[in-house]
A and B are shown apart, each in its own frame.
Chain A
Amino acid sequence: MTATELTQLLADGLILGSMYGLIAVGYTMVYGILQIINFAHGEIYMLGGFGALFVYAWVPGLRAIPLWAALPVLLVVAVAVSVAAATGAERFAYRPLRGAPRLAPLISAIGLSLFLQQVVFNFFTLPGSSMGVTAPVPFPQFETAPLDLAGVQVSVAGLLTLALAAFGMVALTWFVRRTRTGRAMQATAQDPATARLMGIDTDRIIVIAFAIGAALAAVACVTQGLRLGTVSYNMGFITGLKGFTAAVLGGIGNIQGAMAGGVVLGLAESLASGALPHIDALAMFSGSVWKDVWAFVILIVVLLIRPQGLFGERVADRA
């Protein structure tokens, strides 16, 4: 394997990983505050992509202008759809169960996740086709050829992913560290009861945490659609799983860690499908179908040897 091939794999991994990181942030923020896994996060992510696609397909003016000009609209709609879904989910599926035995919100989340997936499956409609989507749906694409950076091919959508992920992380870090609401969020994550005594409206903080996670996931889904060219109703399941893996890798509850975990996972996945064919003993398990298996193996290994995560901050287990 040449150095260029390796760099190519690393670049692909970095792009993929930054998308995972955007999803992981949503898991980590909700978990940090509520200690529940938002199982429906994968579906929140998927809804963002379909929201963008819906607007693009049904508003004629958008297809008339270049995609880069339409992109801000797509992103705003995607974020709006995902945030609406996430806050609705929080209100109707999670909040009534706060304080219930911890199995209850998990099961409710699974139900919600199936429900959202099936709503898209049954009711999402594109102009000129019948109601419902069964197969992956084409997503708008940049026509520009990939950029050639010293032999390494990077697509415009890939660069966009990196830029959006970087911007999202900087903005989020600023928000959490510098704003009043952000500090209230940190306080709630550390000790909700005391935070409430200090006058923090924890319900509002929880809704904001859900909304921020959803917004980043929606951005992730739009970039995924732009890179791969399709979105599908069940894309949230395995990607959501990866996002959670990234959050665990980074140490759950740790926002910067989530992004770092995403990047590590993306690199590992890229190397697993690109570098393994060069290792004789593992060459059989190198195809792209095995990359999910490798991601899972990484999750198990990390839980076994470093359960607090690579950049572990909290070993969250608060009664």
Chain B
Amino acid sequence: MNKHLTAAGAALALISPFLAWTWTPLYPGDLTLYGYPGGSQLVTLVCALTATALLAAPRLAPAGAVRALRAASLAALTTTWVTVVAIAVDLGGVVNLEPGAWLAAGSTALLAVGAHRLPDDTLDPPRPVPRLPRWAEVLVITAVFVLAMYVLTYGITTGSPEEFLAFLPAALFLGRALTVSGLGAALGALTARNRTATAVAALAAALVFPFTQSDGQYTAIADNILIFAAVALGLNIVVGLVGLLDLGYVAFLGTGAYTAALVSGSSFSTLDIGPLPFWATALLGMAVSLVAGIVIGAPTLRLHGDYLAIVTLGFGEIFRITVNNLDGSSGPSLTNGPNGINSVPDINVLGFDFGAEHHILGVEFGRFANYYLLLLAVIALVVFLYSRVGDSRIGRAWIALREDEKAATAMGIEGFRFKLLAFAMGASLAGLAGTVMAHLQTNAVPDNYKFADTAPPNSAFLLAAVVLGGMGTVSGPLVGAALLYLIPAKFEFFSKYQMMLFGLALVVMMIYRPEGLIPDRKRQLEFHEEAVTT
């Protein structure tokens, strides 16, 4: 009975995107056509397809299909209702809804109710997933990354807050469906078996993005996400692997940016140096941030971890005050105070001008696409370092220190040395990202490097990206950074209350899901074990 109810809901939900939901193309995405799903209807269609697939072939889900089906039905329900309500609100009344919209709203409700009344069939342990031949595994990995990139691209390129609001819950619930179905774990095992192929596929999928963009508008957003993600990944070494809370991380980014701007040959630079070649700038930016990291870290890392948190918080603020006042009148002349260093020229590597347009394979590469490629390289470097160091003796020492410092020290791990290494490494990676950021934004100004602000990167958002995504994983901070960049960027009209909700979200997250959206397995156990013993 419930199965039929669910099936009917799914079938009707599949049909509804092919109908008109409203009568006027004024609503973003043009939902007026019969036979051609458009805009947010596509999201409903994808959710309904997922639900149908789970219903028709429950064996697809190794850990049991019903919980995944519930998540997919919630994805369909939330996205459809967001769109339907948004149509009614935007156009001023429910009269603007065509029958297709009523059908969509009703069928997704039916689907959700039906799915939640099905008996739970969770398998523990999950069914073993058959091993595929190697070429097929690589193919699957590639397909998954292309799909992930497509989802992200859709999120970035949504043209209106309504469409993004319809996309977000669908993406989150479908992500949950992936996890509870056991497919997430199966994919994890698959990527762990083919690590090189995974890295290549991820990079290739990311490389495709600028080819799909005709103008720079969305590539610029992608660039900002990449900078944010690169810095969040660097912070993830410090916070996620070693468990050191760095609240002034953005100051190291700023240190790198200011260093790069000063030696860039900009006419606003107070130093008569440069332009240095980019490799020298990058190394210099890393070196200066490294020194700053050691100066801050050396006195504090010997003490209880909380001291580090407050000292880095102070450092972040002091950095901003300092660059704000090194303007020649209230302090020595170095940074032009609040105006910052502007007109930082574009990077030029071996004659390749990042500011100019290039044609590769017949596709036009604008300025933002060039920087996109450079930032991908930076991220690849950070991820490479992260995974290589994380798996080495040093990484194991870090994790041991994070889990139990006393026990680790008793085992002969020199806590201070390893912590300082991590802290300095994190600082220099942020410095590297900063050098690129100065060139991409063509300036270095104090207000970009605050503790908390409505737009990333700032220290609070960086920390939140790591925490929200999942500490100690590679994909966690990437997802966290993308979400935390897109949410404020797409909901600008809401900016007044953004920081308030952001603060509240941090508290709620810590209480209910401290391990983040994509938890590190080890870390999840750590949180839950603690919860059980106390």
List residues of A whose CB falls within 8 A of some B CB: 31, 35-37, 39, 92-93, 96-108, 110-119, 121-122, 132, 237-238, 241, 244-245, 248, 284-285, 287, 289-290, 292-293, 296, 299-300, 303-304, 307, 316-317, 319
B504 on the A face (CB < 8 A): yes
Q: How far is the CA of A117 from the CA of B499 in the complex (A)?
A: 9
Count, A-B residue pairs, CB within 8 A: 150
Contact present for A100 and B531 (CB under 8 Å)? yes
Contact present for B317 and A292 (CB under 8 Å)? yes
- Cβ contact of A115, chosen from B451, B496, B504, B511, cutoff 8 A: B504
Contact present for A284 and B317 (CB under 8 Å)? no
Chain B positions 297-347 with a Cβ under 8 Å from a chain A Cβ: 298-300, 302-307, 309-311, 313-315, 317-318, 321-322, 324-325, 330-332
- Cβ contact of B504, chosen from A111, A248, A287, cutoff 8 A: A111
Would A287 and B534 be within 8 Å (CB), given that A100-B527, A104-B510, A303-B299 are in contact?
no
Q: How far is the CA of A116 from the CA of B300 in the complex (A)?
A: 28
Would A97 and B318 be within 8 Å (CB), given that A37-B309, A112-B503, A300-B299 are in contact?
no
B502 on the A face (CB < 8 A): yes
Q: How far is the CA of A245 from the CA of B243 in the complex (A)?
A: 23
Q: Smallest distance from the beta carbon of B190 to chain A beta carbons, Å?
A: 30
Contact present for A98 and B331 (CB under 8 Å)? no
Could you show 19 A-B contacts with beta carbons less than 8 Å apart? A35-B306, A97-B510, A99-B533, A100-B530, A100-B531, A101-B527, A106-B306, A106-B309, A107-B463, A111-B505, A111-B506, A114-B460, A114-B500, A122-B496, A289-B325, A290-B331, A300-B311, A303-B311, A317-B304
B114 on the A face (CB < 8 A): no
Contact present for A303 and B303 (CB under 8 Å)? yes
Q: Which residues of B contact A98 (CB under 8 A)?
A: 534
Would A103 and B239 be within 8 Å (CB), given that A108-B511, A110-B247 are in contact?
yes
- Cβ contact of A114, chosen from B324, B406, B452, B531, cutoff 8 A: B452
Q: Smallest distance from the beta carbon of B437 to chain A beta carbons, Å?
A: 24
Contact present for A284 and B331 (CB under 8 Å)? yes
Q: How far is the CA of A132 from the CA of B497 in the complex (A)?
A: 11
Task: Name the residue on B nearest A318 (C-beta).
Answer: B304
Would A290 and B325 be within 8 Å (CB), given that A99-B534, A108-B510, A307-B303 are in contact?
yes
Q: How far is the CA of A303 from the CA of B304 in the complex (A)?
A: 11
Would A111 and B507 be within 8 Å (CB), given that A287-B325, A300-B299 are in contact?
yes
Q: How far is the CA of A82 from the CA of B120 in the complex (A)?
A: 48
Would A107 and B467 be within 8 Å (CB), given that A98-B534, A316-B304 are in contact?
yes
Q: Smallest distance from the beta carbon of B156 to chain A beta carbons, Å?
A: 26
B414 on the A face (CB < 8 A): no
Contact present for A114 and B303 (CB under 8 Å)? no
Q: Which residues of A contact B325 (CB under 8 A)?
A: 287, 289-290
Q: What DSSP secondary structure best describes chain A's contact surface?
A: helix
Contact present for A93 and B527 (CB under 8 Å)? no
- Cβ contact of B306, chosen from A36, A100, A114, A307, cutoff 8 A: A36
Contact present for B506 and A114 (CB under 8 Å)? yes
Task: Name the residue on B nearest A107 (C-beta).
Answer: B510
Task: Other than A103-B471, A107-B463, A289-B325, give 6 A-B pairs with Cβ distance below 8 A.
Answer: A111-B502, A111-B510, A245-B314, A304-B298, A304-B299, A307-B303
Contact present for B332 and A284 (CB under 8 Å)? yes
Q: How far is the CA of A31 from the CA of B471 in the complex (A)?
A: 26
Chain B positions 264-299 with a Cβ under 8 Å from a chain A Cβ: 295-296, 298-299
Q: How far is the CA of A264 from the CA of B303 in the complex (A)?
A: 22
Q: How far is the CA of A92 from the CA of B314 in the complex (A)?
A: 26
B492-534 Cβ-contact flags toward A at 8 Å (1 or 0): 0000110110111111011100100000000000110011011
Task: Name the residue on A nearest B526 (C-beta).
Answer: A101
Would A289 and B321 be within 8 Å (CB), given that A100-B527, A110-B460, A316-B304 are in contact?
yes
Q: Smallest distance from the beta carbon of B314 to chain A beta carbons, Å?
A: 5
Q: Which residues of B contact A284 (CB under 8 A)?
A: 331-332
Task: Name the residue on B nearest A245 (C-beta).
Answer: B314
Q: Which residues of A contact B506 (CB under 8 A)?
A: 107-108, 110-112, 114
Q: Which residues of B contact A316 (CB under 8 A)?
A: 304
Q: Which residues of A contact B302 (CB under 8 A)?
A: 307
Q: Which residues of B contact A132 (CB under 8 A)?
A: 496
Q: How far is the CA of A119 from the CA of B303 in the complex (A)?
A: 34
Contact present for B503 and A100 (CB under 8 Å)? no
Q: Which residues of B contact A307 (CB under 8 A)?
A: 299, 302-303, 307
Q: How far is the CA of A313 from the CA of B429 in the complex (A)?
A: 38
Q: Which residues of A contact B317 (CB under 8 A)?
A: 237-238, 241, 292, 296
Q: Smallest distance from the beta carbon of A254 to chain B beta carbons, Å?
A: 15
B174 on the A face (CB < 8 A): no
Contact present for A97 and B511 (CB under 8 Å)? yes
Task: Name the residue on B nearest A285 (C-beta).
Answer: B331
Contact present for B310 and A114 (CB under 8 Å)? no
Q: Smallest distance from the beta carbon of B397 to chain A beta carbons, Å?
A: 18
Q: How far is the CA of A107 from the CA of B499 in the complex (A)?
A: 15
Q: Which residues of A contact B201 (CB under 8 A)?
A: none
Q: How far is the CA of A166 from the CA of B496 in the complex (A)?
A: 41
Q: How far is the CA of A287 from the CA of B406 in the complex (A)?
A: 44
Contact present for B514 and A248 (CB under 8 Å)? no
Q: Which residues of A contact B514 (CB under 8 A)?
A: 100-101, 104
Most buried by A among B296, B321, B500, B509: B500
Q: Which residues of A contact B526 (CB under 8 A)?
A: 101
Q: Smallest distance from the beta carbon of B514 to chain A beta carbons, Å?
A: 5
Q: Smallest distance from the beta carbon of A153 to chain B beta carbons, Å?
A: 25
Contact present for A114 and B321 (CB under 8 Å)? no
Q: Smallest distance from the beta carbon of A248 to chain B beta carbons, Å?
A: 7
Task: Name the residue on A nearest B324 (C-beta).
Answer: A289
Q: How far is the CA of A300 from the CA of B527 in the complex (A)?
A: 32
Q: How far is the CA of A115 from the CA of B303 in the complex (A)?
A: 29
Contact present for B500 and A119 (CB under 8 Å)? yes
Contact present for A299 and B311 (CB under 8 Å)? yes
Contact present for B503 and A99 (CB under 8 Å)? no
B245 on the A face (CB < 8 A): yes
Q: Which residues of B contact A290 (CB under 8 A)?
A: 321, 325, 330-331
Q: How far is the CA of A164 from the CA of B331 in the complex (A)?
A: 36
Q: How far is the CA of A209 from the CA of B24 in the complex (A)?
A: 61
- Cβ contact of A237, chosen from B315, B406, B451, B499, cutoff 8 A: B451
